[in-house]
Amino acid sequence: MVVYTYVMNKKRVTALVIVTAVVAIGVTAYLLLPRKDNKSTVDQQSQQPAQDGQNKPVEPQGFNKNMFALDNSDSPWWVVNKKRPLPAGYVPPDLGVPPVKLRLAASAEQMQYRKSATPALEELFAAAKQDGIDLVFGSGYRSEALQRQFYNSYVASDGQEAADRYSARPGTSEHQTGLSFDATASNGACHLEKCFADTPEGKWLVANAHTYGFIVRYAQGKEAITGYDYEPWHMRFVGKELAIEMHRTGVQTLEEYFNLPPAPSYN
């Protein structure tokens, strides 16, 4: 009896060990199986492409430098400098006298401006007025003939080398495009002088002109690129898109922004 009981007990222990092992293996296998809990569902959803209109990410897009042509007279991005002359005798087809404060009589040639750029000019002057800045339209369009008169007089008084630093030779002036104008103060302070940058008008233009589509065309320290001395009064219309983009990137010249060759001279 003792032997039988011992054998039976041994069989029970062995059976119990086997059952315990089987259960342990089953539990381990269950724990190792992939489970579709909340985290897995979130991960799977995050890997699926977003449906239209459902938190679709917006990809940043670069500025389109091909929006307008650089060689077309109808383009606000038309680049004219010492190495990029205008067509001989060019006259803008849409000249008119802008309804802003003028320095000269409305009948004067220089009081004309491109009609395509006039709405932006009006907006610029109106915004300045709201901020207490009384801008004056000092000089706009100049024909090739008028530019020749100015240039020849500068050469006669200062010599050609000096004149070339502050005046364009006829046929290469931005004023002839009808897209540039010289800003001045209502009291005439620093008219066509570098100190214009220190006037309330000059400071306001530097801070705000880009919002309305204008840039200071001949920036300080860029003489070797533009070919001209610093002219804080010389404003060029290029459109809001480009003016804002140049201000954002800190690029001050059209030549640099469009990777054009510098134009320090006519050679």
User: Over 60: is that where the pLDDT of 13 sits?
Assistant: no
Q: Is the pLDDT of residue 122 over 50?
A: yes
Which residue among the candidates 144, 174, 201, 231 is catalytic per the annotation? Answer: 231
Is it the case that residue 177 has pLDDT exceeding 70?
Answer: yes
Phi, psi at 112, each rounded to 5°: -100, 160
pLDDT > 90 in the chain, percent: 76
Q: Distance between CA atoms of 142 and 180, rounded to whole angstroms? A: 10
Of 30 and 157, the one with more pLDDT = 157
pLDDT at residue 61, as a whole number = 59
Long-range CB contacts (within 8 A, 24+) of 173-176? 173/80, 173/86, 173/142, 173/144, 173/147, 174/80, 174/217, 174/234, 174/236, 175/110, 175/139, 175/140, 175/141, 175/142, 175/147, 176/80, 176/86, 176/90, 176/141, 176/142, 176/143, 176/144, 176/147
Average pLDDT on 162-177 reads 98
pLDDT in tens, 84-99: 999 999 999 999 999 9
State yes or no: is 174 an active-site residue. no
Confidence of residue 43 (pLDDT cuts 50, 70, 90): very low
**Whole-number pLDDT of residue 138:** 98
Is residue 119 over pLDDT 70?
A: yes
Q: At residue 42, does pLDDT exceed 90?
A: no
pLDDT, average across residues 144-171: 98
Q: What does pLDDT average to over the chain? A: 84
Is the pLDDT at 12 greater than 60? The verdict is: no
Residue 219 has pLDDT above 60, yes or no: yes
pLDDT in tens, 225-234: 999 999 999 9
Band the pLDDT of 62: cuts 50, 70, 90.
Answer: confident
Would the pLDDT of 16 be above 90?
no
CA dihedral 244, 229, 141, 207 (to 10 degrees): 30
